Structure 1
Amino acid sequence: MKTFIRVVELWVPDRTRTRLEFGGSLCSAEFEEFRAVSENALFAYDEGLPGKAWASGHPVILTKFANSYFKRTDEAVEAGLTCGVALPVFAGEFLMAVMVLFCGDDAKHVGAIELWHNDPDKSHEMGLVDGYYGTADMFEFNSRHTKFPRGFGLPGRTWKAGMPLIIKDLHNAKGFLRWEDASEIGINCGVGIPYTTGDETWVMTFLSAQATPIARRFEIWVPDASRSALTFHSGDCSKQADLAALYDGKTIRRGEGSIGGAWATGMPALNEHLKQDETISAASARAAGMNQIVVLPVIEHAALKAVLAWYL
């Protein structure tokens, strides 16, 4: 089974905090040459895809590398990578890291990664900045001509919640306004991540299909009332596991495993070997045959709001 996202990279400030250096990646062996190029790369503020996300203060998406500010075009094209998304993680105004996701391109590539934006001075709705849809042409056309008020659809609901959001069983989800288009092409799960810069709001959405899923499992963990541990908030698993029942009464301590570590450090995390993670979530994922995790902390006003994790 191929996942929709082919390569995940972390870019972290170097010792001088003036440039971004390679902080690790998750990818299969076919992308080793691309990884080798990335390992030696450095990006200044506003340079390349990671530097652009740093400078803009919100996610950026590039659906075409040619004739753009992207720096590794030849290597990416050779590796079959066609789209890049950069997600910056800030604590207040200070950059912690940038996570970059790359998608591939083949005939069975179904799903979507979208960036939505609202500027309240211009509109009370959220419109599409850009998106990558694989082979889902009709879904792409309709998405580019759709706007969402606050509280409606996945982008609008994520905007209103101010929290990462998971909508599963999209064909039955009244809150997902494009469900008919989505069900026709097999998209069955949606994840939204909000970003606020000043008065403007950005929402990154991942739409996952059964044939080429974004991930095999998504989980959102949030601090408890005392902010001493993380509790399970919501999730979706391709194996149909009842995650709420599985994690009922269970917590992850600050600093514990990849998920608790993201809270302790404010840094995203990539873990290729879940057997090195002792948490309840890692044990459950391993039991379901999952070996890798991507962890993204969602920080607001320099405090952790939630942790979004996905398993490969």
Structure 2
Amino acid sequence: MIATRTKTYFSDVVVYDAVDIQNRFAGDAGLAAVVRLNAPQLVSTDGQTERLLFPVFNSRDLLSVVSMQIGEPSDVVGVTEIWEPVAPYQEVKLAAGSFGPLERFQNVSSFVRFEKGNGLPGQVWETGQSVIHDDLANHPGFLRAAGASAGSLQTAIGIPVFSDHFIATVVLIGSVKAPVATACEVWGRSGDQFELQSAVYQPFADESQFDIGHTLSPETGLLELVCQHRGAVTSSDSDTLMADRDGWKAFSSGLAIPSYIDGKIASVTKLLF
């Protein structure tokens, strides 16, 4: 488990390896539901905030389940959504969500459907990799901008859940006061390197930013852990988090999530806290 920074939307993150999951079923109904249904879940536990759980696959092989605990509502404002396809149409609808006090945004989201390629959930489906939208109130591709502006929502990242077919888009939306992470990055495989395709950074992480198009070797930091481990990984090791960066201790922990195409890692999503 890694603890995230104070005032980020999530309070802690855990990655469960597939080989360990069977031993945890009895004590974790949410985890059991993810494995049984092969789909993301939002789980409520008495006295606690909701927890997002979503699987990571390589084709039909379950590699990991990522668990992200939403912070206390008195301290954070943000949104977690699960968008699932509507058969037989090429569109997705909201299957579950955690909106806290943002009732207006919840009401709009409940009635919206996105065609494949449209809106953040549909773009993730079409590309097969994570997509980041920043400055939501003014982002032309974020089709719920008015609701985002009213709720001070700032940055959204959509993460794909694929097995041998598209299962869902998980959308994480942070606000000005409670960002999803200190940094969100999407690295796409480019030959024998990974290339930064999109990113958003909090102001105090300026010195640790990479420019779009920057390339890293698969033997670098969290990318190396993902390639070795195959599933999602977490780390609190400063050398791993700051590999090839100029900044000093900008990040205290990190999560990396691979996406696969044809049995190979096609992209890696990093959330750095």
The within-5 A match list for 1:114-263 is 114-121=81-88, 123-197=89-163, 200-224=166-190, 226=191, 228-239=192-203, 246-247=210-211, 250-263=214-227
Aligned partner of 1:51 in structure 2 is 32
Letter in 2 for 1:256: T
Cα drift, residue 197 of structure 1: 4.6
Q: Deviations over 1:14-64 (max 9, x none)?
A: 4xx6725xxxxxxxxxxxxxxxxxxxxx226x96222322232232222x3
Aligned length: 268
The within-5 A match list for 1:269-308 is 269-277=233-241, 279-280=243-244, 283-284=245-246, 286-287=247-248, 289-308=250-269
SS in 2 for 1:214: coil
Q: Deviations over 1:126-162 (max 9, x none)?
A: 1100111122121112111211122221112212222
TM-score after normalising by structure 2:
0.87
**Distance in 2 of aligned mates of 1:208 and 1:214:** 5
SS in 1 for 2:99: strand
Aligned partner of 1:92 in structure 2 is 59
Aligned partner of 2:232 in structure 1 is 268
Q: Deviations over 1:262-308 (max 9, x none)?
A: 1232121111132345622xx25x44722211111112332111100
Assess if the C-alpha contact under 8 Å between 1:4 and 1:104 holds in 2.
Answer: yes
Counterpart check, 1:19 vs 2:1: no
SS in 1 for 2:222: helix
**Distance in 2 of aligned mates of 1:243 and 1:94:** 38
Q: CA distance change for structure 1 residues 18 and 104 in 2, over 3 Å: closer, same or farther?
A: closer
Assess if the C-alpha contact under 8 Å between 2:18 and 2:65 holds in 1.
Answer: no
Percent sequence identity over matched residues? 21
Moved more, 167-176 or 261-270: 261-270
**Distance in 1 of aligned mates of 2:212 and 2:125:** 27
Moved more, 268-277 or 186-195: 268-277
Compare relative contact order (CA 8 Å, sep 6+) and give the higher one, 1 or 2.
2
Aligned partner of 1:5 in structure 2 is 10
Cα drift, residue 208 of structure 1: 1.1
Moved more, 84-93 or 237-246: 237-246
TM-score after normalising by structure 1:
0.77
Counterpart check, 1:112 vs 2:94: no
Bigger CA radius of gyration: 1
Structure 1 residues not aligned, in runs of 5+: 21-41, 67-76
Assess if the C-alpha contact under 8 Å between 2:172 and 2:180 holds in 1.
Answer: yes
Letter in 2 for 1:223: R
Cα drift, residue 198 of structure 1: 5.2
Structure 2 residues not aligned, in runs of 5+: 1-5
Assess if the C-alpha contact under 8 Å between 1:136 and 1:185 holds in 2.
Answer: yes
**Considering only aligned residues, what root-mean-square deviation do their CA atoms show, in Å?**
2.6
